[in-house]
Amino acid sequence: MRVGTPSLIDASSLILILDVSRKLAAPCDLTELLELIIKTGREVIGADRGSVFLYDEEAKELYSRVATGETQIRVSIDKGIAGECARRRQTILVDDCYADPRFNPEIDRRTGYHTKSLITVPLIGLDDKLVGVLQMLNSVVGHFGPDERDVAELLAAQAAVAVQRTLLLEERMVKIKLEHDLTIARDIQQNILLRRLPRCPGYSLSAFSKPADDTGGDIYDVIRLDERADASPVLLLLADAAGHGIGPALSVTQFRAMLRIGLRLSADMDALMHHINQQLLEDLPNDRFITAFLGILDPATHQLRYHAAGQGPLLHYRAAEGQVVWRDPSTVPLGMFKDLDLPPTPPLVMAPGDLLVLLTDGFYEYQDAAGQVFGKERVGDLIHRLHARPTSDILGALLAEVRRFAGSAKQIDDLTALLVKRDA
């Protein structure tokens, strides 16, 4: 608390602060702004060094973006003189720092600097919001007094609003750049998805993918394995990286790239699964993995050899029996274990009119406003009713049914589907 009669601010200091106020009002880079505040503070207060500590409200810490002669420093507001200044929102003057128990000499030991005296002033912005603290070290006349306090508080009042405004602008620019980068990432991912699926004689195929965010962790692919053969086998892929957003999007994009490179090197399906699993194990964080269906459909034999690494349930509609058959995953997700077990999976035989429906869990786990999930039963019932229609119609009806079920509930997971039907 201030005691006694306030002192008058020196005219030259006031002129300098007013000049700086005009500069502070002009838009500028945050680092440049803080450097200007430090430079002005040293001149008008008469200090050897200075720091501006910004307040990290979430971490309850003060951190330096600029400190003359120092590297970045982070301190809890529960500690030290700067922390007490921030908590109490009061100016603190110290004539002999090493005699003050609140002073932390660790910074001096790290920097080789010797702090004798200091003045610390809170930076209070609009809406009484704590922006940070301004700290000046070592008075050039020996100690800081009432005159220096008045000047420091006047400078801090001007600086706080300018820093607050610049921080908001900086956050806005970061957000704009992030949105721009996400748009680019979304465009890249959407361009990877096939606009027109490859031809597979005797079969019709349809696919769909819609991320919950700007980018998604799901992907599908259909690849002809022999472009020279009219009845070329096709590789079918449906993959889902844990989570959704930019991280999983990068993971499934990497997955697809590794898969296509492996095919160019003539790797068989088992080798592809083992090599991709090993690479994902090295690249993904410990809590991340990818579920994937990888199958090869031969239109000459109508057999589908596949591995379902955590991807399921799989729906096979048998037209002759009028029966929906659910198939479970055949092995664990990729990127989890070093030794991937690939037990032999009996080929799935596609008889005339049969339909294979591959869906990511976003369909089955889609919730309505009451928290009820869409579930596999609704999927099975729809397929049973509409199996005779073209795959594009079936897919459209499925999406419409999900939207009707969800009502106003927001999509919280990616939706990806791949439908394969043998002509009747």
* Tens of pLDDT, residues 49-87: 999 999 999 999 999 865 554 556 788 999 899 999 999
Residue 183's pLDDT is 74
Compute CA 199 distance to the chain's CA centroid, rounded to the nearest angstrom.
37
Alpha helices for 302-373 (secondary structure H): 361-364
The low-confidence residues of the chain, meaning pLDDT below 70, are 1-14, 26-27, 65-72, 185-186, 189-190, 192, 194, 244
Q: Return the amino acid letter for 294.
A: L
192 touches 256 (CB < 8 A): yes
Distance CA 313, CA 316 (A): 10
User: How buried is residue 84: exposed, middle or buried, by Cβ count under 10 Å (0-12/13-18/19+)?
Assistant: middle
Q: Return the amino acid letter for 158.
A: Q
Residue 10's pLDDT is 67
Residue 189's pLDDT is 65
Instruction: Please give the structure tokens belonging to residue 109.
Output: 């030991």
Q: Which of 403, 411, 420 is nearest to 210 (CA)?
A: 411
Whether the full predicted model's pTM is greater than 0.95, yes or no, is no
Residue 27's pLDDT is 66
Torsion of CA 157, 158, 163, 166, to 10 degrees: 140
Instruction: Report the first-to-last Cα separation within the chain, whole angstroms.
Output: 89
Residue 266's pLDDT is 86
Q: Give the angle subtended at the CA of 220 by the CAs of 355 and 363, to the nearest 5°.
A: 65
* Residues constituting the chain: 424
All structural domains of the chain: 11-174 (3.30.450.40), 193-422 (3.60.40.10)
Instruction: Please give the structure tokens belonging to residue 404.
Output: 């009707």
